[in-house]
Amino acid sequence: MDALVQTQALTKRYDNLVALDSMNLSVERNSIFGFVGPNGAGKTTSIRIICTLLQPSSGEAWIDGHSVRDEPDRVRNRIGYMPDFFGVYEDMKVWEYMDFFARCYDVPASKRPGLTDELLELVDLGEKKNAYVESLSRGMKQRLCLARTLVHDPALLVLDEPASGLDPRARVEMRELLKELRTMGKTIILSSHILAELADVCTHIGIIERGRLLASGRVEEMIGRLSVRKRVRMRVSSKPLTAHRVLSGFPGVVDASFEGSAPETDEQPAALAFGLTEEVQDESAVLTQLVSSGVPVRAFAEESGDLEDVFLQITKGQVQ
């Protein structure tokens, strides 16, 4: 594996609180790596250490072979960091905002206008070049912030909750933009609570809770390895209470429940869902038992696992 980011026993302590506990992490070059975890899990702490904004208590992290402890300037030249919220510069136009950050990274004056136009077109803000930053929508500000992280052509983009506060259309636009950046050779680390979006955009994920990295790997491998419990959804035209009773008493069936409010009588149609442990090799045995009990089953289908299943299986819902 060609890793752009590596950490070894990375730890951060605040008095008696261990915010990050001996994290060993590898992020492949040209991947989109999603950090998943509840508030207080250690995602932002990890990101700040990787971006040289916070010193670890112990352990080490390397970006493209450079130590965040010993070579912070070299690391910063290889990273574009986008925080959850960024400062809005009043009375500054979009092109001025871009020019300001380009100057911070010592981009020559002769190259700044062309670079600004190129990056604004990339994030679909070309027509807003002369607009004031404070007049932009939340989604436009996020895209502008992403554009300014690219002014020095970093190898790694680190994005903390990039879809936070965006409407559905803006989220789709952000997701497509991240995919395009990957095709351009960028490696991306992003944190998010929106699991469905991570599944759509990420090639790899890492699940973190209480400062510990519980699991990491390719999305499809994580789903295949950890989604060991099948989930089945079904609909009945009547006898929902009978169906629920049969499911609850069937060996290997777990978490049988109604989708929506439970019906009051056995004469109503209803939808149910249940899980299957490895004890049940063939879900058709459950269907046979339902039919033999007189339950008129209209639909019966197994669902494939997703990131949400993986997250719920690995984590315990604990916070610091």
Q: In this predicted structure, what is the pLDDT of residue 319?
A: 46
| pLDDT recorded at residue 86 | 67
Nearest to 300 by CA among 210, 232, 253, 230: 232
Contacts of 317 (CB under 8 A, 6+ apart): 38
Using CA atoms in the order 280, 286, 292, 298, what is the torsion angle rounded to 10 degrees?
A: -160
- The whole-angstrom separation of Cα 244 and Cα 246 is 5
CA distance 237 to 242: 12
Domain range 3-224, CATH class: alpha beta
Global pTM reads 0.73
Q: Which helix (H) or strand (E) holds 230?
A: strand 230-236
Structure confidence at residue 167 (pLDDT): 80
Residue 165: the pLDDT is 73
**Domain segments of the chain as ranges:** 3-224, 228-303
Instruction: Provide the 10 A C-beta neighbour count for residue 158.
Output: 25
Tens digit of pLDDT for each residue in 224-266?
A: 665 546 789 999 999 999 999 999 999 989 889 998 888 999 9
Answer whether 3-224 and 228-303 agree in fold.
no
pLDDT for position 117? 96
CATH topology of domain 228-303: Alpha-Beta Plaits (3.30.70)
Three-class HEC string of 195-213: HHHHHHHCCEEEEEECCEE
Q: What is the pLDDT of residues 270-308, one digit of tens each?
A: 999 998 877 777 889 999 999 999 999 999 998 765 666
Residue ranges of the chain with pLDDT lower than 70? 1, 86-88, 194, 196-197, 223-229, 304-320
